[in-house]
Amino acid sequence: MSMIEWSDELSIGIDYIDEQHKQLMAIINELQLAVEYDKGPDFVYPIIEHLYNYANTHFSDEEELLRMHNYPDLIDHRQEHLAFISKIDELKNRYETDREGLTIHLRNFLLGWLYNHIKSEDQAYRHFLDRKGVLPHSHKESGQDS
């Protein structure tokens, strides 16, 4: 099973948000390995719980940043976050009854959702914040603002 990896093209240019994205990727990778190697509920459930809690913290931080800067698509962005949290709840319920299906679900949804969300939705707010002059100047100079 492939793992999700950080790349500079995913950078938002705000260190604490980038670090949180990296941590979310690490937790999802840990969960994926635990499920793939059938580590069992005592090992898997705490990882799912950690993902749930960390995602909520990250989404709250990210939404506060966007609220502070009057991001016009905040409501839609928040809906994406709520959908992700809902899927984590689904994972908890699905794990006991469909472990093989959960492995496929991890690959198809969690990994894809996080990567695509950062690459698309989060990059949209990065461009918005960059135009407002919120991002560190070095990020713009790195050529990532095209």
pLDDT tens for 27-45 read 999 988 888 888 888 888 8
Please report, for the domain that includes residue 90, its CATH number.
1.20.120.50
Please tell me the predicted confidence (pLDDT) of residue 1: 58
Report how far apart, in Å, the C-alpha atoms of 112 and of each of 65, 70, 81, 104, 119 are.
24, 28, 14, 11, 10
Residue 88 lies in a domain: yes
Token duo for residue 44: 């898997």
Residue 86 lies in a domain: yes
Residue 108 lies in a domain: yes
Residue 1 lies in a domain: no
Nearest to 65 by CA among 9, 114, 126: 126
Kindly tell me if the per-residue pLDDT of 128 is higher than 90.
yes
Kindly tell me if the per-residue pLDDT of 117 is higher than 60.
yes
User: What domain count does the chain have?
Assistant: 1
Residue 145 lies in a domain: no
Which residue range is the domain that position 62 belongs to? 10-136
Residue 101 lies in a domain: yes
Kindly tell me if the per-residue pLDDT of 19 is higher than 90.
yes
